């Protein structure tokens, strides 16, 4: 590669890096704005792009330079959240056959911690999904992924001789959807004052439903 070509490549890389840096900065500003508006009782579904941009301290033009609309913003912010939710399940989604009650407790705590940390994005996703088919599909895909992983884990627990033979995929599905719905629609249960009790309650409900009586605490 010639010196000119190398210099051009380096310049392009630097420009791309700067573009990503600016986008991350815009993302953070918009996320903080969404949080501020939510705390003030304003729902994302009724917030205008002008209102969102002013609160974020950016221009309307900057918003549209990065996103097509609010649904595009939610989709972008949610992608990383989706990955974190799956990863936060820990042992339960990796080696369910050896799972103990303490593992389930840690799994529930990990998942609910992720929901609490990203509540603003999840609330915006839920609201946007009511009117936007693409975002609705994104939301369904996340739940379907969680359900599939939970059902697989419950089946592995049963195959290891440690699961409740009467539970089946339906129970694992209902538990997963219940945790998702409650965490999204009743965020007060994830407040600092309620968090530990909520985690313990879901852990006991999940383990007593899916594990055989022989391995229950």
Domain ends where: 47, 66, 85? Answer: 66
Res. 23: pLDDT tops 60: no
- DSSP label at 155? H
Range of the domain at 48: 3-66
**Domains: count for the chain:** 2
Does residue 132 come out as left (phi exceeding 0), alpha (psi in the -120 to 50 range) or beta?
A: beta
* Same domain assignment for residues 125 and 207: yes
What are 90-109's pLDDT values in tens digits?
888 888 888 899 999 999 99
* Same domain assignment for residues 204 and 98: yes
CA distance 113 to 172: 20
* Same domain assignment for residues 58 and 80: no
Q: What CATH number does the domain containing 100 carry?
A: 1.10.357.10
- The residue-averaged pLDDT of 24-45 equals 89
CA distance 216 to 80: 35
What are 115-173's pLDDT values in tens digits?
999 999 999 999 999 999 999 999 999 999 999 999 999 999 999 999 998 888 999 99
Alpha helices for 40-118 (secondary structure H): 49-56, 60-66, 70-87, 91-94, 101-117
CA distance 144 to 152: 12
What band does 210 get if pLDDT is binned at 50, 70 and 90? very high
* Same domain assignment for residues 86 and 182: yes
* Same domain assignment for residues 54 and 103: no
């Amino acid at each position: 590669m010639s010196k000119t070509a190398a210099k051009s490549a380096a310049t392009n890389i630097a420009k791309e890096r700067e573009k990503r840096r600016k986008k991350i900065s815009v993302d953070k500003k918009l996320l903080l704005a969404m949080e501020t508006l939510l705390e003030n009782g304003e729902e994302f579904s009724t917030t205008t792009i002008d209102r969102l941009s002013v609160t974020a301290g950016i221009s309307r033009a900057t918003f549209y330079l990065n996103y097509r609309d609010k649904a595009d913003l939610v989709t972008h912010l949610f992608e990383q959240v989706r990955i974190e939710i799956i990863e936060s399940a820990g042992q339960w989604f990796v080696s369910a056959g050896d799972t103990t009650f303490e593992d389930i407790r840690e799994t529930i705590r990990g998942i609910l911690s992720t929901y609490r940390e990203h509540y603003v994005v999840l609330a915006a996703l839920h609201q946007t999904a009511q009117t936007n088919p693409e975002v609705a599909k994104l939301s369904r895909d996340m739940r379907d992924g969680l359900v599939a992983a939970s059902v697989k884990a419950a089946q592995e627990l049963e195959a290891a001789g440690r699961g409740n033979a009467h539970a089946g995929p339906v129970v694992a599905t209902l538990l997963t959807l219940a945790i998702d719905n409650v965490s999204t629609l009743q965020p007060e249960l994830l407040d600092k004052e309620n968090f530990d009790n909520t985690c313990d309650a879901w852990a006991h409900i999940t383990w007593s439903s899916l594990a055989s009586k022989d391995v229950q605490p």
